[in-house]
Amino acid sequence: MKKVDELYNKNIITYGALAKICRQNAAQTFAPWADKVLLFLGAALFVAGVIFFFAFNWFLIPKFVKLAVCMALILASAAAAFVKGFDSYSGQAAGTAAAVFVGAFLAVFGQIYQTGANAYDLFLMWTVMTLPLALCMNKTSGWVLFVILVNVTLALSPLNPAIWIFCLVNFAFLLVTLLPFKIVKQQPYFEYLINTYITVLAVIDSVDHWENMRAWLPLVWAAVLFSIYFFRRKNIYFLGLSLGLAGYWAVVKLSNVDAVNGLWGMGMIILIISGLIGFTLVKINAKFKGAKND
């Protein structure tokens, strides 16, 4: 419909024609859409009502009922996943929901029995218990939940691991998905999420460590990204991420040089570097497209 808007904005069709086209289009799509919206809103309000109901009566509910509710939710979602199968979206959603309810069960269990476990123990247990489910499902939604849990567990760990450890762990996940086996292949969004996440982590880590070896982490990661996505998988987004990171690194390094330290100098450096990166990416993109067309 953007094309129709463009036709109207260029005065090729009248507003009346635009309205008639939209009406004709809406007539075909409105009923299924309204059906979904009503179902979603109804479900959302009902679930919110149930949550409020439990929240209000939480202290009056016997502890076994609390645990039974969580167990029932796990069983119901696992049964739904079993019936639908992991190949359907609803089955995957039910499987992921089962993993989430495991966490809720552990939290309620810890609250009732006061096991002395802290947030780290809770997330560690949750991660460990999610692993078999993620392996059974072997679907991206399950692995995304697992990776999130691993990262939260690491963040809560009493050992306070450095950011480069996070980078390494997530890079290991990425490497597994890049292996040439069908069984480890994930949806493209997994790769986008992990790569972008590691890039952000590399930038954060470098901020406080410009004086030591860890300042090189962004550059190393940029080189890794570039080598994977230029030579093997040909993806302009990741190349942009890689060159952008390298550009950021160069700008920060150059900002310590006296000759360019100042508003004009820095402005000029950023202008030149971003221009060069943009020019390089356009050339690479043209090359990729040419290769595709061939």
Partner 1 sequence: MTDEEILKYVPEAQKSSAMEIMRGGGTDDIPVIIKIILGIGAFVSSCLFFGAVGGVAFTMREGAAYLVLGIISMGAAVTLKKLVLPYLGPMLKFFFEQCVLVAMLFGRACIITAAADWSFRENGFLILTFLMAIIPYKFFDSFIDRFIAVFLFALCVYAKYYMMFDNRGYQYISFDFIILIFFIISGIIFAARKKFLNPAAWALITSALVPASFALFSAGAGWLGGGVSVQMQTPYTDVIFNWQKILLAAYFGLMFLAYKKFTSGVKNNDYLVFAVLIFALMPFNLPILYGLFFLLLGKFFDDLKVEILGYTTLGGGIIYLYYSLQVSLMTKSLLLMASGLFLFGAQQLARRIYAR
Residue 99 vs 225, nearer CB to partner 1: 225
Near partner 1 by CB under 8 A: residue from 33, 113, 210, 216: 33
Q: Could you tell me how far CA 142 lies from the centroid of its own chain?
A: 12
Secondary structure class of 282 (helix, strand, coil): helix
Assess contact for 202 and 182: CB atoms under 8 A.
Answer: no
Near partner 1 by CB under 8 A: residue from 95, 170, 247, 249: 247
- Give me the least distance between CB of 257 and partner 1, in Å please: 16
Assess contact for 114 and 87: CB atoms under 8 A.
Answer: no
Near partner 1 by CB under 8 A: residue from 50, 75, 136, 257: 50
Near partner 1 by CB under 8 A: residue from 25, 88, 111, 256: 25
Q: Does 65 bind partner 1 (CB under 8 A)?
A: no
Near partner 1 by CB under 8 A: residue from 154, 163, 167, 273: 273
Q: Does 188 bind partner 1 (CB under 8 A)?
A: no
Q: Could you tell me how far CA 27 lies from the centroid of its own chain?
A: 35
Residue 220 vs 250, nearer CB to partner 1: 250
Q: Does 257 bind partner 1 (CB under 8 A)?
A: no
Helix, strand, coil in percent for the chain, rounding step 5: 85, 0, 15
Residue 85 vs 278, nearer CB to partner 1: 278
DSSP 255: T
Q: Does 31 bind partner 1 (CB under 8 A)?
A: yes
Q: Does 1 bind partner 1 (CB under 8 A)?
A: yes
Q: Does 219 bind partner 1 (CB under 8 A)?
A: no
Assess contact for 173 and 130: CB atoms under 8 A.
Answer: no
Give buried/exposed letters for 122-160 (b at 16+ CB in 10 A, else e): bbbbbbeebeebbeebebbbbbbbbbebbbbbbeeeeee
- Give me the least distance between CB of 290 and partner 1, in Å please: 14
